Structure 1
Amino acid sequence: MPPIRRKSKLLRRSRVLWASPALWRPRLVFWCGALAIGVVSVGFAKMADWAQHVFAAMTGSTSHGFLIPLLLTPAGFTLSAFLAIRFFPNSQGSGIPQAIAARHLHEDEDRRWLLSLRVAFGKILLTILGLASGASIGREGPTVQVGASIMLAVARVSGIAQARGLILAGSAAGIAAAFNTPLAGIVFAIEEMGRAYEARSNGLVLTAVILSGLAALGLSGSYTYFGLASIGPATVREWLLVLVCGVAGGALGAGFSGFALSVGRRIRRWAAPLPLRRSLMLAAGCGLLVALIGLVSGGATFGTGYEQARGAIEGQALPPFFFLEKLVASFLSMISGIPGGIFAPSLAVGAGLGSSLGLALGTSITLAATLGMAGYFAGVVQAPMTAFVIILEMTGNHDGVIAIMGAAMLGYITSRLLQSEPLYHGLSRSFLAAAMRRSRAAGHEAASEKSGA
């Protein structure tokens, strides 16, 4: 065949292929899913802010407003735990462990048990309820589960076979849209979500992050999560602060994650005989303790802790023991069984720790809070690259790049020496084990029906 005719034939075949609905339909569905994650993330953020404002208005509306949390917070925790158990199972906690567990499952039915549009709806609804009740939780972890659920639905509608890659892409898009940190979304997908990262997922992750980021940018505009704080260490004392914040943050983060995993296992064994009754008792008790801590702290420990962390980044020193109060409130909110994340509260704890260390060493509060966030967050999640990139993007502190990187790495090393199992991956084991038990039970039931027939 002459070269010209062969080239013409290939060109016609290429045009037919590119015009084929079978080629474009999956891509269009995927793009719409990525845009939807951005839109949902922005709406979720606005509703979460509204819920916190409602709680603040209720608790400060009368001279006896300080008594309201003693009733509202335990009641809100109990209601949230009940709805999660009865109507939205697997919506409890952060949501990141569920997404990690789903990536290890092979059957689509098992993945849908952890990630579905129903679970995503419940996650949003109950996280907002928790914030309206004064829980020390964040919306960023839940946004990861919501994004992964949307992308898993995309896989079913579009027929794209890369379910694991789409879960990864949805998780990255959720982080990127929640914090307006596209680079952190990509690094999070590689370092935290996909310890066994597939190279073929690169395009999915990058495209999802870009499209969800564009949607969020169009709705919220360009912003830096904690504002701009460009400052780096200039003295020996400030360089010493890098070491102190890294080691202290890593040790505190290791203690939080190790204790959370240990207590979580004990709670599951304790609740097993009467799961609903004991889970509601636990939620009510944790809610009451969170309310008491909130009253002692003057209301500072209620909610995500965003205002406190931003104030510290802007140079306003936090109370010396705020970081301990916030840590305990976040721990209680986490083990209570209500939906809600630990991303934002962890950043507030880190900012409080850094502020206290900065006061003790007589250094810049802004620099100390930034380094404290890096050290503590890296210690909790044991993902130093994610910690470094996300804090760099949230503060825009390019003058402190080396210092933030050093604090994050020191926090990670210290945490690994004290606690070998990363928090999110440790938490994912219970969801993975439950999904596998459920799958085996369904298999035995099907086999029994078949043998009976």
Structure 2
Amino acid sequence: MEATAATVPKRRRMRRLQRMPLVSPRQWWRRMALWLGAVLVGLVAILFAKLADHAGGLFLSITGRWPWAALVVSPLCFGAAAWLTRRVFPGAQGSGIPQVIATLHMDDPAMISRVLSARIALGKVLLTLLGLCGGASIGREGPTVQVGASIMQAIGQRLRLPRIEAQRAMILAGGAAGVAAAFNTPLAGIVFAIEELSHSYESRTSGTVLTAVVIGGVVSLALVGNYAYFGVTSVELPIGLGWVAVLVCAVVGGLAGGGFSWALIRASAGLPGAFGRFVARRPVIFAASCGLAVAVIGLLSGGATYGTGYAQAAGLVAGEHQMPPSYVVSKFLATVVSYCSGIPGGIFAPSLSVGAALGGAISGLLPSAPAGAVVLLGMVAYFSGVVQAPITAAVIVMEMTSNQSLLIPLMATAFLATGVSKLVCRRPFYGALAMRFSRAMASH
């Protein structure tokens, strides 16, 4: 009896020891699963980026030889993507970021699993690539966020996390890691998770998000090196008359970005009248018509509006070439038409391209400010006007150009542009679409 009684305190001490975070087998199992998930998100994001570059390059190689081929290729790709979205991958349409935001406010695990299923994630990747093969003015960033969230959500299911907060932390971490790995912007991944996805900072989820972002960034660093997405710039904006560019870019970019968001939010609610009824009855034909419109815009712009717009933005940031002011309008229209078609795809890259071109156009009117600085201010102003997330916009542009010396002007421009944008579009773009998506899911 004495021996048995002596072993009871030992067992209790062993149980207490096993519950300690540093030695608990369950906690270590969860940590390793989180690390593995972050590595997978990084690998998928990098592979997606490479495939997206090849898809866009394939379309440009075809239209480079036969420019008029776009009138056939674009409608076919748009129509096929729309048909596959509805028949094979229902729920894969759109950016992907509103869907992730919506899941962070859901309490039903089954509904979350439907939105972040492996089937939809696969469809998101394949159909975005198909859209880029058709010259669509879309990006891969929104789909990457949803794919990253889907991977981490699936791992969270396998771990059977007991609390909904822990499951949401995994989803949040997946989306943030996707941004960090896709663009080699770890700070932007963290800020994006706080400001755009969750709209708050919670100490209980911060460790999970930070770990996933760091690992995703390490995977990107190991595979593609330490690169700046738009190249390295060292341009500065000294205090003085050049700061007029901050105000001008903020006003123009905020109005343009707010108008873009307002147009897409209204279009996502359904077009009015007979035309809206036609779109609802014949979505594939409408998508093919949008592809034809994108092809016509591309032909009129000399092929400049096709694809993500990365090459045009990178050239403007590096000062290697200038885009005509008409590019701002044509790229704006091509992005609106591509999004309204209903095919999967994001708006990050096209918005950054439009903003860079807008800054380039403004720089010609402000000789007192360095042209390279105005390009970056235009980029952050328009992007802030679109997403109304000023900190994310400033940090992502800073990291994409590896330019810390311009952070204060970028932040000032971003906050001013966000305020101006709200005069045109009162609701943030992703938040409004997430709310609409949540209502649609609840009604079903």
Look up the match of 1:403.
Answer: 409
Alignment of 1:279 with 2:280, yes or no, is no
SS of equivalent residue, structure 1 residue 134: coil
3-state SS of 1:176 partner: helix
CA offset at residue 104 of structure 1? 1.4
Q: Tell me what 1:102 maps to.
A: 103
2:199 is matched with which residue? 195
Gaps of 5+ in 2: 1-6
2:344 equivalent among 339, 347, 354: 339
Question: Partner of 1:239 in structure 2?
Answer: 243
Residue of structure 2 aligned with 1:46, choices 50, 56, 62: 50
Question: Contact conserved, 2:116 with 2:150, CA < 8 A, in 1?
Answer: yes
> Offset at 1:151?
1.0
Aligned: 1:84 with 2:88: no
Structure 1, 222-231 or 427-436: larger mean CA deviation: 427-436
Runs of 4 or more consecutive aligned structure 1 residues displaced over 6 Å after TM superposition: 5-11, 268-276
| Equivalence for 1:443 | none
State the 1:23 CA deviation: 3.2
Alignment correspondent of 2:3: none
TM-score by length of 1: 0.90
> 2:380 aligned with 1:379, yes or no?
no
- Give matches, 1:79-158, under 5 Å: 79-158=80-159
**Aligned residue number for residue 163 of structure 1:** 167
Instruction: Tell me the percent identity.
Output: 47
Tell whether the 8 Å contact from 1:85 to 1:276 is kept in structure 2 after alignment. no
Instruction: Confirm whether residue 355 of structure 1 aligns to residue 360 of structure 2.
Output: yes
Alignment correspondent of 2:182: 178
Q: TM-score, normalised by structure 2?
A: 0.92
Matches within 5 A, 1:22-33: 22-33=26-37
Alignment CA distance shift 1:340-1:46 (3 Å): same
**Shift, 1:196, TM fit:** 4.3
Deviations 1:358-414 (A, max 9, x none): 012234331111000110001100000000110111111122121111111111111
Paired with 1:172 and 1:375, the residues of 2 have a C-alpha distance of 22
C-alpha contact (below 8 Å) 1:312/1:365 kept by paired residues: no
The C-alpha deviation readout for 1:294-320, integer Å capped at 9, x for no partner, is: 111111100000000010101132112
Matched-pair contact (CA < 8 Å) for 2:236–2:370: no
Q: How many positions carry a matched residue from both structures?
A: 431
2:226 is aligned, of 209, 222, 226, to 222
Q: Quick check: 1:392 aligned with 2:398? A: yes
| 2:260 aligned residue | 256
Counterpart residue identity of residue 48, structure 2: F
The letter of the residue matching 1:247 is: V
Matched residue type, 1:213: G
- Alpha-carbon contact 2:176-2:192 (below 8 Å) kept: yes
Deviation at 1:277, TM superposition (A): 4.4
* Other-structure match for 1:320: 325
Aligned partner of residue 361 in structure 1, secondary structure: coil
Per-residue CA deviations over 1:326-368 (Å, capped at 9, x if unaligned) read 1110111111100000000000000010000001223433111
Paired residue type of 1:125:
L
Are 1:135 and 1:302, in contact at CA under 8 Å, matched by a contact in 2?
yes
CA change 1:236–1:69 in 2 (3 A) is same
Against the structure 1 CA distance between its residues 23 and 398, is the aligned structure 2 distance closer, same or farther, given a 3 Å change threshold? closer
Q: CA deviation at 1:238?
A: 2.1
**1:181, distance to aligned residue in structure 2 (A):** 0.5
What letter matches 1:52 in structure 2?
G
Superposition deviation, residue 20 in structure 1: 5.6
SS, match of residue 406 in structure 2: helix
**SS of the residue 1:137 aligns to:** coil
Q: Give the deviation of 1:265 after TM superposition.
A: 1.0
Which position in structure 1 is the counterpart of 2:372?
366
d(CA) in 2 for partners of 1:68 and 1:159? 51
Letter in 2 for 1:297: S
With over 3 angstroms needed to count, the CA separation of the structure-2 counterparts of 1:28 and 1:269, relative to structure 1, is: farther
Q: Deviations over 1:72-129 (max 9, x none)?
A: 0011001001111111112111100110111111111111221111111111111111
Runs of 5+ consecutive residues of structure 1 not aligned to the other structure: 439-453
